[in-house]
């Protein structure tokens, strides 16, 4: 609650006065999401397009955060058919809300589904390297 | 010791439909319609966030005024959805938020001032002494717990 | 020693939905990156009441064993265990007992039962305020959980919450209920905000309670969900790992008594902890032998 409701106060200044380093304004946030249908998916594969993904994402946001939440502009900027990977873009003050409504979404096109968020970042390129996917298995 | 902060919204409930029936305000109806409208605007999260400590502390049918209590913090969600409230128990209404206070006493102090101004306005329009007395009589029926 | 590392999910019901098996749920949790899992067995309160009645008869011990079920045995094949080892290093599988409690008077049988001791964690789901207060103030448990459909209304204040946190009891928020129904979701958010406003969200753990594999969520997603439930970023992260470790340690103290250190003979260490013995031997050699050349270098460099 503390963080979500105070999101509007997030510092979006282009200039960080403490460090003196000029940074780009964090206008957008990018989420690397993969749709996970589990192992026992039926024979009928769901249709997978940008429009349908956006529809289900917006519905999930609308359910949790109402009309004010669903009015936020959310874009599907990348979609991969084979791996079911999508990249979403939203305003940076909204990314906590979007992330949590994706976590609580359960269905995509009538199929039980889990929107797994691999990484969130405010730059698109840093989605490419994800330290959570490193495998620390010992080599012998 | 941490204080448990609240916010009290003083709102005027104005009926919009043409019938002249007095508003039959019940605290339960107001609470449910507030929860419904917050769920519409802020979703399930908003409705759940304001539900803790939500209470209608005072509601007066003759002056059409209600005081709604809410926790400090999520009160902003409630404040932003109050203007969208349009029905209370099937009556079409409009909610005009007139004051936001931190204590009930402050709200009632404001209401007293608010009504005194209203009396003055009403008295201006009166032409005879008889009418003036009538106005004063009606207004004296509204009593606040100060 | 039975310590817990990494992300914890202390609520995986042993009675999962008929379409899947418990094994699937556990394996999925491991794949998502959880380091410790607790298999949860929920018992109703009437189990305790029956023991109370039959306790007067002669065959008391036999009756009790029947009533509180022993922890379920997991039959994992070798292949599954290998998978568990590869993804996370030490996946701990604990056993947890949850008691639905409405009357504080029934707790005595729970403590006395033999089978209770075979569970690692003991949780209580108080359905009334009286039961909540008793659980927070007197009971020797690890977790106080919340069930949105069974519990009507709980009233407690800051003092009771602090009593529980000072005794090391953690409050649990099960998130998979939030996926099932809209009204239940509201109730869970409301309850966790209540924890936030009354107890500043101290001693909170977030766990799943997932009946199917797809109800499990990535630990990082759950940590983000914690922000929605009134925790700060650090609190929600620690609700998954650090607090889970505290719960497990608290559970061990129930069996051992209060202690700060643990002594085990080096020959009897479990294979996962054999490295400690080796390290000890190396350290001893270093201490007995000549001073390390590395250290000398450091000193010369300083001059």
Q: Is residue C11 a contact partner of residue C172, using CB atoms and an 8 Å limit?
A: yes
* Interface membership of A102 toward B (CB under 8 Å): no
User: Which residue among B42, B74, B80 sits closest to A65, beta carbon to beta carbon?
Assistant: B42
Question: Does any domain span residue B140?
Answer: no
Question: Does any domain span residue C223?
Answer: yes
Number of domains in chain B: 1
**pLDDT tens digit string along A49-77?**
888 888 888 888 888 888 888 888 888 88
Question: Does any domain span residue B76?
Answer: yes
Question: Does any domain span residue B68?
Answer: yes
Question: Does any domain span residue C135?
Answer: yes
Mutation target to probe the C interface, by most C beta carbons within 10 A, among B7, B38, B39, B48 is B48
Nearest-CA distance C134 → chain A (Å): 29
Same domain, C282 and C247: no
Residue C179 sits in which domain range? 7-256
- Beta strands (DSSP E) in chain C are 7-13, 34-43, 92-101, 121-126, 143-144, 170-174, 204-207
Q: What is chain C's pLDDT, residue by residue, as a tens digit (303 residues)?
A: 567 777 888 888 887 777 777 777 887 887 787 888 888 888 777 666 654 444 444 444 444 444 667 667 766 655 666 666 655 566 777 888 888 877 777 677 777 777 777 788 888 888 888 888 888 887 778 888 888 887 777 778 888 888 888 888 888 888 888 888 888 888 888 888 888 888 787 888 888 888 888 888 888 888 888 888 888 888 888 888 888 888 888 888 877 777 777 777 777 777 667 777 788 888 888 888 766 555 555 555 444
* CA terminus-to-terminus distance, chain B: 27
Same domain, C216 and C287: no
* Interface membership of C182 toward B (CB under 8 Å): yes
Question: Does any domain span residue B48?
Answer: yes
Question: Does any domain span residue B128?
Answer: no
Same domain, C70 and C215: yes
Same domain, C72 and C117: yes
Same domain, C111 and C219: yes
Residue B76 sits in which domain range? 6-112
Number of domains in chain C: 2
Which pTM does this prediction carry? 0.80
Residue B110 burial (C-beta neighbours within 10 Å; 0-12, 13-18, 19+): middle
Same domain, C163 and C252: yes
Distance from C-alpha of C187 to C-alpha of C92, rounded to nearest angstrom = 31
Question: Does any domain span residue C83?
Answer: yes
* Interface membership of C190 toward B (CB under 8 Å): yes
Residues of A in contact with B40 (CB under 8 A): 66-67
Q: Is residue C168 a contact partner of residue C129, using CB atoms and an 8 Å limit?
A: no
Which residues of chain B, if any, have pLDDT below 70?
Answer: 1-2, 20, 139, 141-146
Question: Does any domain span residue B98?
Answer: yes
Domains, chain A, ordered by start: 31-40+47-124 (3.30.70.3250)
User: Which residue among B39, B73, B74 sits closest to A66, beta carbon to beta carbon?
Assistant: B39
* Interface membership of A8 toward B (CB under 8 Å): no
Cβ–Cβ gap B43/A63 under 8 Å: yes
Question: Does any domain span residue C261?
Answer: no
Can you give the pLDDT at residue B134?
Answer: 79
**ipTM confidence score:** 0.79
| Shortest CA distance from C188: residue in chain B | B48
Same domain, C138 and C167: yes
Same domain, C164 and C295: no
Cβ–Cβ gap B48/C186 under 8 Å: yes
* Interface membership of A62 toward B (CB under 8 Å): yes
Higher-pLDDT residue of A8 and B88 is: B88
Cβ–Cβ gap B49/A1 under 8 Å: yes
Segment holding B52, helix H or strand E = none
Q: How long is chain A?
A: 140
Look up the CATH number of the domain holding residue B42: 3.30.70.3250
* Interface membership of A1 toward B (CB under 8 Å): yes
Choose among A130, A47, A118, A46: nearest CA to A88: A118
Question: Does any domain span residue B36?
Answer: yes
* Interface membership of C185 toward B (CB under 8 Å): yes
Look up the CATH number of the domain holding residue C29: 3.20.20.140
Question: Does any domain span residue B132?
Answer: no
């Amino acid at each position: 609650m503390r963080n979500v409701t105070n999101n509007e106060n997030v510092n979006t200044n282009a200039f960080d006065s403490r460090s003196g380093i000029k940074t780009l304004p964090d206008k957008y946030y990018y989420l690397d999401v993969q749709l996970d249908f589990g192992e026992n998916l039926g024979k009928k594969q769901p249709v997978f397009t940008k429009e349908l993904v956006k529809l289900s994402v917006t519905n999930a946001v609308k359910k949790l955060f109402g009309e004010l939440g669903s009015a936020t502009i959310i874009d599907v900027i990348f979609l991969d058919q084979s791996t079911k990977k999508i990249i979403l873009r939203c305003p940076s003050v909204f990314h906590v809300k979007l992330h949590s409504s994706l976590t609580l979404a359960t269905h995509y096109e009538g199929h039980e589904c889990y929107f797994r968020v691999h990484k969130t970042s405010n730059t698109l390129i840093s989605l490419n390297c994800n330290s959570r996917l490193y495998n620390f298995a010992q080599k012998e | 010791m941490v204080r448990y902060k609240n916010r009290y919204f003083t709102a005027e409930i104005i009926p919009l439909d043409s019938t002249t029936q007095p508003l039959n305000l019940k605290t339960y109806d107001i609470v449910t319609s507030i929860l419904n409208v917050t769920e519409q605007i802020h979703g399930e999260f908003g409705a759940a966030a304001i539900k803790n400590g939500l209470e209608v502390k005072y509601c007066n049918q003759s002056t059409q005024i209600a005081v709604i209590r809410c926790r400090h913090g999520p009160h902003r969600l409630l404040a932003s959805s109050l203007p969208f409230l349009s029905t209370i128990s099937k009556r079409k209404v409009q909610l005009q938020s007139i004051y936001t206070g931190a204590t009930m006493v402050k709200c009632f102090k404001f209401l007293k001032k608010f009504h005194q101004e209203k009396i003055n306005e009403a008295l201006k329009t009166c032409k005879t002494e008889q009418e003036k007395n009538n106005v004063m009589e009606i207004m004296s029926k509204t009593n606040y717990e100060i | 020693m039975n310590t817990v590392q990494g992300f914890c999910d202390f609520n995986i019901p042993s009675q999962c939905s008929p379409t899947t098996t418990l094994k699937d749920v556990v394996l999925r949790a491991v794949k998502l990156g959880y380091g410790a899992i607790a298999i949860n067995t929920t018992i109703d309160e009437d189990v305790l009441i029956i023991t109370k009645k039959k306790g007067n008869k002669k065959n008391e011990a036999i009756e009790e064993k029947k009533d509180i079920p022993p922890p379920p045995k997991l039959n994992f094949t070798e292949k599954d265990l290998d998978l568990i080892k590869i993804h996370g290093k030490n996946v701990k599988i604990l056993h947890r007992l949850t008691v639905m409690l409405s009357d504080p008077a029934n707790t005595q049988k729970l403590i006395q039962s033999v089978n209770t001791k075979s569970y690692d964690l003991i949780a209580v789901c108080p359905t009334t305020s009286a039961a909540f207060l008793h659980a927070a103030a007197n009971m020797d448990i690890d977790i106080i959980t919340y069930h949105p459909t069974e519990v009507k209304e709980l009233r407690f204040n800051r003092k009771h919450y602090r009593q529980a946190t000072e005794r090391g009891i953690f409050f649990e928020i099960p998130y998979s209920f939030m996926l099932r129904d809209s009204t239940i979701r509201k109730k869970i958010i409301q309850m966790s905000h209540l924890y936030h406003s009354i107890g500043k969200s101290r001693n909170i753990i977030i766990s799943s309670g997932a009946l199917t594999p797809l109800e499990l969520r990535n630990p990082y997603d759950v940590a983000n969900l914690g922000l929605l439930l009134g925790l700060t970023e650090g609190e929600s992260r620690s609700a998954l790992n650090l607090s889970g470790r505290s719960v497990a340690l608290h559970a061990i103290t129930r069996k051992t008594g209060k202690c700060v250190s643990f002594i085990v003979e080096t020959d009897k260490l479990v294979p996962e902890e054999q490295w400690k013995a080796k390290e000890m031997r190396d350290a001893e050699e270093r201490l007995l032998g000549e001073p390390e050349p590395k250290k000398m270098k450091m000193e010369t460099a300083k001059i």
